[in-house]
Each structure stands twice: as structure tokens, then as C-alpha cells.
Structure 1
Amino acid sequence: MRTAPNLTTRELEVLQLIANGFTYAEIGEHLSVGIDGAKGSASRLMVRLGALNAPHAVFLACQAGILRGRPGRPPGPPRRPLTARQAEVLTAAADGAPLAVVARRLGITREQVSSRLSEGYLRLGVTHLPRGQRRAAAVETARRRGLIPPAKESAA
């Protein structure tokens, strides 16, 4: 049976973030080390664990008892906020209008609207939902986080 290698505090932090699904860019931003610093820490921990890649490192760390299963892990840092364009498109699409209508409102193509919404769904963590529920969940999440303006109150 293999013994668990001693990982540095930084390597453990990077491993935890990788296990939570964060990209190297997000890890670098969170740790204030940049993407190269995040990749370097990840590379060192993969060598110590004897892993072929990042998912394999997470698997080996779970087997070695370095990481616990998903339910016991604390959540990672919040995902990157929406870009200005993603927030603008999500705000314009918040009323549930078809993509073509949103595209006309913003003076862009339907494909650009679809692409910005998809990117926003990924950043907001709603891609696991069925397609028909993603936009509403993204709007609700973005409003709750203050990334897009709140819904306008209708006059009674």
C-alpha cells in the first residue's frame, strides 16, 4: 500500500481548488499567483502524487485520504463574475425573450447572444440544470450576487 506524500499547504490548496472544478486561471486569481504559479503548484503536486493529470491527482488524493469525498469538502471560492458583455446580454435576456429578440435589442447576432449566455451559465454554475431552466437560474443567481440589476418593479 502506498503512503500518502507530504504536500505543502499551497499544493493542498491548489489540489482542493482543482477538485472543486476551478481552472488554473481561477486558481491563480484566487491565490494571487497568476496562471503560471497555479500551473506550477499543480505540476509539483501531480509529481508528488505520481498523477498523470489533474483529475488523476484528485483521484489519487482521495484514495490516499488526502481529500475526502465531495460531501465533506468546503466549497471553493466564488467563480469569476460575469464579463460586462455577459452581464449586459443576461440583463437583456432576463425577461425570457427569444434569442432573436435579445439580439435585436442589443444589435448583435443571435449566435453572439447564445454564446454570451452559455459562457455566463458556466460562470454562474447553472450548466447542470436542464436547458429550459438555465436562463431563469442564471438570472436569479446573478441578481442575488449583484452582478446584474434587480428586476424592475411593475407599477400597480
Structure 2
Amino acid sequence: MKSALTARELKVLELIANGYTHDEIAEQLVVSRGAVNGASQRAVMRLGALTTPHAVYLATQAGILPGRPKRRTGPPRQPLTARQAEVLTAAADGASLTIVARRINSTREQVSARLAEAYLRLGVTHLPRGQRRTAAVNTARKRGLIPTADKERAA
């Protein structure tokens, strides 16, 4: 361990260890996302870590962070952005990326990126590639993040 952490770096590292996103940490600490990113990177550097998870591990091993962190329960406060929800809704019927892009006046690459972000936020990235979209749509519908199939047909 190279040197001690500042109070801000320690708090950011602790919140990261507990499963908060950088945006959620910024909101909680009333700072910018850039300030959170900077504090995170400085903590990594000060601890001589390779990555942020490695910094959390080293801080825990050194006794700087308490034992095993408690994970937050439930979904994040804002699990999908409006654009991610729009793309997931348009892709819910299993259409190709090109067709979804045409539907929402976007590009194939942007649709692919938004779907990947949605998969990550909905926690379906561990599934095989062919099952992710269906699982994401089902999860988002259960949480009320996108309209159900009945509402889509009625609209």
C-alpha cells in the first residue's frame, strides 16, 4: 500500500464496494460524476491497484474498508435511461438491430450500444447472448420499465 486515502477517496471506494454506480455516488455525495471518477482513480493509484475492484480488495485486506461489504438490495434507482427503455421496447419483438434502428430513427451501432447498456443495468449479461434480449424485456416489463405486450398492441 503506497499511501493513505483521503476521506473522499475512502467514501467513494466504500460506496463502490457496496454496489453503487458512479452516478449514484455523485448524487449521494453532491459532487460531479467527474469528481467521483477522479477520486476512484486516485484511490486506485494510491493503493497501487490495477483496477477499482482490485483497490477495493486491497483496501479490505489492509483493514481500510470493513470486511465483506454489504450489497445493496433491489434494483438501482434509475435502472434504464429513457433512450435505453425506448430501444428495448422497440426491440421487444425480436427484430434485427437494423430494423430496430429504422423504427427509432437511429443507427445499428447506437441500438446495439443501448441494448448492451440495458442488459448490464438489468443484470442479464451473465446469460448466453441469444437469451439476453428476451430476459431483459421480461425483466423490464416485470419492473414496469417498459410497456407490456398488451399495451404495445393497444397503442
Q: Is the 8 A contact 1:26 1:80 kept in 2?
A: no
TM-score (norm 2): 0.69
| CA-atom RMSD in angstroms | 3.4
Choose the corresponding residue for 2:61, options 60, 63, 72: 63
For residues 12-63 of structure 1, the C-alpha deviation after alignment (integer angstroms, 9 at most, x for no partner) is 542233225555334213433222442465467568xx50243332111231
Deviation for aligned residue 1:149? 1.4
What letter is aligned with 1:34? Answer: S
Match of 1:51 in 2: 47
Choose the corresponding residue for 1:141, options 139, 142, 148: 139
Match of 1:96 in 2: 94
Distance 1:39 1:111 in 2: 26
Q: Is the 8 A contact 1:99 1:110 kept in 2?
A: yes
Identity %: 61
Count the aligned residue pairs.
147
Distance 1:41 1:132 in 2: 38
TM-score (norm 1): 0.68
Unaligned runs of 5+ in 2: none
SS of residue in 1 equivalent to 2:16: helix
Q: Is the 8 A contact 2:22 2:36 kept in 1?
A: yes
Unaligned runs of 5+ in 1: none
SS of residue in 1 equivalent to 2:149: coil
**Closer, same or farther in 2 for the Cα pair 1:32/1:81, shift >3 Å?**
farther
Match status 1:81 vs 2:108:
no
Distance 2:82 2:129 in 1: 23
Distance 2:62 2:76 in 1: 27
Q: Is the 8 A contact 1:80 1:123 kept in 2?
A: no
What letter is aligned with 1:109? Answer: T
Distance 2:79 2:48 in 1: 31
**Closer, same or farther in 2 for the Cα pair 1:106/1:62, shift >3 Å?**
same
Distance 1:55 1:35 in 2: 18
